[in-house]
Amino acid sequence: MYDWLLFLHLLAAFMLAVTVVTYTAVALGAPAEGRAMFVADRCWDVGGLGTLVLGIWLALYLDEYGFFDGWILGAIGLWVIATGLGQTVQRRTAAGETAAVATMHWLRTLTVLGLLVLMIWKPGA
């Protein structure tokens, strides 16, 4: 059970990477083409929900961790920030304001990187 939860949690995290890489290409000057942006946005939706739900499930499943551990609460906080930034980036990119979203995209990228750091180091666990 744990193995499959971890596999699906990781798969969801990899979907977030699809979004980050695609929007990085756009931030660096690549055209925001419909099909690529659609795939990137759906990956963000599914990956975001998957990482949160499966991550909390994993935390509750393992005796070693508790829901109120600092690194888990920190991860949920970063997830909320990344989601807010992601929705804004999606909305503004769809409106054609690609130049205006670069800063928000880089902030989102840093937030996702922060989530990965928390998942690996698990400070306080």
Partner 1 sequence: MTLLAAIRPDDWNFPLFLHILGAMVLVGALVLVVTSIAADNLRLGFRTLLIAVIPSWIVMRVAAQWIADKEHVDDLDPVPAWVDIGYSTSEGSFLLLIAATVCAGIAARRARGGGLRTAVLVLVAISLVAYVVAIWAMSTKPS
Residue 91, judged by CB atoms within 10 A of its CB (0-12, 13-18, 19+), counts as: exposed
Q: Which stretch binds partner 1 (CB under 8 A): 49-57, 87-95, 100-108, 116-124?
A: 116-124
Q: Site map for partner 1, 50-89, x if CB under 8 A?
A: ------------x-xx------------------------
DSSP 101: G
* CA 58, chain centre distance (Å): 17
CA angle 29, 34, 36 (to 5 degrees): 70
Please, what is the minimum distance in Å from the beta carbon of residue 10 to partner 1? Answer: 5
Count of chain residues binding partner 1 (CB under 8 A): 35
Binds partner 1 by CB under 8 A, chosen from 56, 81, 107, 116: 116
Q: Does 11 bind partner 1 (CB under 8 A)?
A: yes
CB 112 within 8 A of CB 16: yes
Q: Does 46 bind partner 1 (CB under 8 A)?
A: no
Please, what is the minimum distance in Å from the beta carbon of residue 43 to partner 1? Answer: 7
Rounded to an integer, what distance in angstroms lies between the CA atom of residue 19 and that of residue 61? 28
Rounded to an integer, what distance in angstroms lies between the CA atom of residue 120 and that of residue 39? 27
CB 87 within 8 A of CB 45: no
Q: Does 18 bind partner 1 (CB under 8 A)?
A: yes
Question: Site residues (CB under 8 A) for partner 1?
Answer: 2-4, 6-7, 10-11, 13-14, 16-22, 25, 30-31, 33-36, 39-40, 43, 62, 64-65, 113, 116-117, 120-121, 125
